[in-house]
């Protein structure tokens, strides 16, 4: 009985997060059926959940269109305990502008157990079949963002984590442990990485490790673009570094003025 109750609580928590992530993916309004279709959930329980969130002041409900929209209280929950430049929204605003200007997806990645997870995602127009959502994840060893996050642990702990990932992987998914350790050491020195994204087929990623002090654990900021894009990774990394420096400077310009230079054309 206890296990069944725990499972039910987990299911409820997951569905609440799904609703929040739906609105986080640039959806300003949603109906019950929008949520039902996106996550394949029962209509009755979804309607009940949205109603409870309205009662708690986290969502508005339009009685005429029967649609829902997030309230400022929901936004305050998300930003309340975050350090700058996340709390002010400057980092997210930079991500949105970079995604719009470069037409590439821009993600904020964090370490969750053995995985690199998308904490925040700005959609890119050139990734119609490769756009991600918040919560998407892949093994730390399978992505430049993951290897950067591993590098923040130090070489010893990172090596142990890579050994574990390789030992637990299916035979077809195992990797060259020596090369992975060398990559982590290299990325730890440079703070940047480029390679197959690991999140969506046919995509590459250029990412940088964000400075310490932006949360309990280190974060990585990455740009995801089609493999056949004419992107200069070095120029793109310079663009990211410039944007992050501006975000960290209060009142800094985060409009990514030289983002066009990332293209090797």
Separation CA 132–CA 124 (nearest Å):
9
Q: How far is CA 38 from CA 86, 123, 159, 164, 201, in A?
A: 28, 17, 38, 34, 21
In contact, 29 and 68? CB cutoff 8 Å: yes
To the nearest whole number, what is the mean pLDDT of the chain?
Answer: 87
Q: How confident is the model at residue 23 (pLDDT cuts 50, 70, 90)?
A: confident
Q: Which two tokens stand for residue 69?
A: 């929209």
Find tokens 């009142």 and name the residue.
Answer: 251
Say how many residues make up the chain.
265
Query: Which has the closest alpha carbon to 197: 94, 92, 124, 96?
Result: 124
pLDDT in tens, 210-239: 999 888 889 999 999 999 999 999 999 999
Q: How confident is the model at residue 257 (pLDDT cuts 50, 70, 90)?
A: very low
In contact, 23 and 70? CB cutoff 8 Å: yes
Instruction: Say what the pTM is.
Output: 0.79
Query: Which has the closest alpha carbon to 220: 108, 133, 53, 96?
Result: 108
């Amino acid at each position: 009985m206890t296990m069944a109750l725990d499972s039910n609580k987990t299911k409820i928590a997951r569905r609440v997060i799904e609703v929040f992530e739906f609105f986080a993916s640039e959806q300003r309004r949603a109906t019950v059926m929008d949520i039902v279709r996106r996550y394949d959930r029962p209509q009755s329980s979804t309607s009940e959940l949205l109603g409870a969130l309205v009662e708690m002041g986290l969502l508005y409900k339009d009685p005429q269109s029967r649609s829902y929209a997030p309230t400022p209280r929901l936004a305050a929950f998300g930003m309340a305990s975050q350090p700058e430049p996340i709390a002010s929204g400057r980092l997210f605003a930079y991500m949105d502008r970079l995604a719009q200007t470069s037409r590439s997806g821009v993600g904020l990645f964090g370490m969750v157990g053995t995985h690199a997870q998308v904490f925040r995602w700005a959609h890119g127009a050139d990734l119609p079949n490769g756009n991600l959502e918040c919560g998407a994840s892949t093994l730390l060893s399978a992505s430049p963002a993951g290897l950067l996050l591993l590098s923040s642990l130090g070489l010893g702990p990172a090596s142990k984590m890579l050994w574990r990932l390789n030992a637990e992987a299916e035979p077809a998914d195992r990797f060259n442990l020596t090369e992975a350790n060398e990559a982590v050491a290299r990325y730890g020195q440079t703070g940047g990485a480029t390679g197959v994204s690991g999140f969506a087929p046919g995509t590459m990623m250029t990412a940088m490790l964000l400075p310490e002090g932006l949360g309990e654990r280190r974060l990585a900021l990455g740009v995801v673009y089609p493999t056949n894009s004419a992107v200069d990774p070095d120029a793109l990394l310079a663009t990211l570094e410039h944007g992050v420096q501006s975000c960290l400077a209060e009142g800094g310009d985060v409009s990514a003025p030289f983002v066009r230079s990332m293209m090797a054309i």
